[in-house]
Amino acid sequence: MRKVTTPLTKSIRKKLRCGEEVLLSGTLYTARDAAHKELAQLIIKKKKLPFSLKDNVIYYTGPTPKREDGFFGSCGPTTSSRMDSFTPFLLRKGLGAMIGKGRRTPRVRNLIKKHKAVYFLAVGGAGAYLAKKIKSSKVLAFHNLGPEAVYALEVRNFPLVVGIDSQGKDIYG
């Protein structure tokens, strides 16, 4: 199985093929509905983003709160389609890859191809299993959003499947 590490540069992204299983290590940034809305607003207003999107990976998730041991108990993917209307803004800012579950719109698929980005799938409903792949985490932005805040996660061998590759090939057709 192919192992890749962040930042996911264009040359790495171009090697990944639709349907391929991948183990990802490095930094992931969590962002879901409310954080996407905030990020898109900042981009529209030409304001500075709390973290660089260039070649970085966004994970669509809202983890359970940290336990006494300092780790999330459960941290699996949420439905990606709810981010579709905001994704074009983020791709234009150089976002390298996204992790979620389920289908994307044709528009997002085309933009993934245009920007040579990648859309990964993680196993939905396996939050306890996936949380164990996270080695550390810290809150980075939008703290007031609670479970929807942006966290930087350090992961090791996070198991993924390529859902849409940089050529726009989509596992869901």
CA distances from 110 to 48, 79, 91, 148 (A): 26, 19, 11, 27
Considering only residues 31, 62, 151, 170, which one is a binding residue for other proteins as defined by CB under 8 A? 62
Considering only residues 6, 53, 56, 76, which one is a binding residue for other proteins as defined by CB under 8 A? 76
Q: Does 106 bind other proteins (CB under 8 A)?
A: no
C-alpha–C-alpha distance, residues 41 and 10, integer Å: 26
Compare residues 4 and 130 and give the one whose CB is closer to other proteins: 130
Compare residues 89 and 129 and give the one whose CB is closer to other proteins: 129
User: Helical H runs in 65-105?
Assistant: 87-92
Q: Residues touching other proteins: how many (CB under 8 A)? A: 38
Considering only residues 12, 16, 53, 75, which one is a binding residue for other proteins as defined by CB under 8 A? 75
> How would you classify the pairing of strands 150-164 and 118-121?
antiparallel
Q: Does 86 bind other proteins (CB under 8 A)?
A: no
Work out the number of other CB atoms within 10 angstroms of the CB of residue 32: 24
The residue annotated as part of the active site, out of 36, 101, 103, 133, is 36
Binding to other proteins (CB under 8 A) within 19-38 occurs at: 21, 34
Compare residues 14 and 172 and give the one whose CB is closer to other proteins: 172
Q: State which H helix or E strand residue 158 sits in.
A: strand 150-164
C-alpha–C-alpha distance, residues 94 and 154, integer Å: 20
- Name the burial class of residue 96, with classes exposed (0-12), middle (13-18) and buried (19+) by CB atoms within 10 angstroms of its CB: buried
CA distances from 71 to 90, 134, 170 (A): 28, 8, 33
Binding to other proteins (CB under 8 A) within 110-149 occurs at: 121, 123-129, 131-132, 145-147
User: Active-site residue 36, yes or no?
Assistant: yes
Q: Does 2 bind other proteins (CB under 8 A)?
A: no
Which residue numbers are catalytic?
36
| Contact positions vs other proteins (CB under 8 A) | 21, 34, 61-67, 72-76, 78-81, 101-103, 121, 123-129, 131-132, 145-147, 159, 161, 171-172
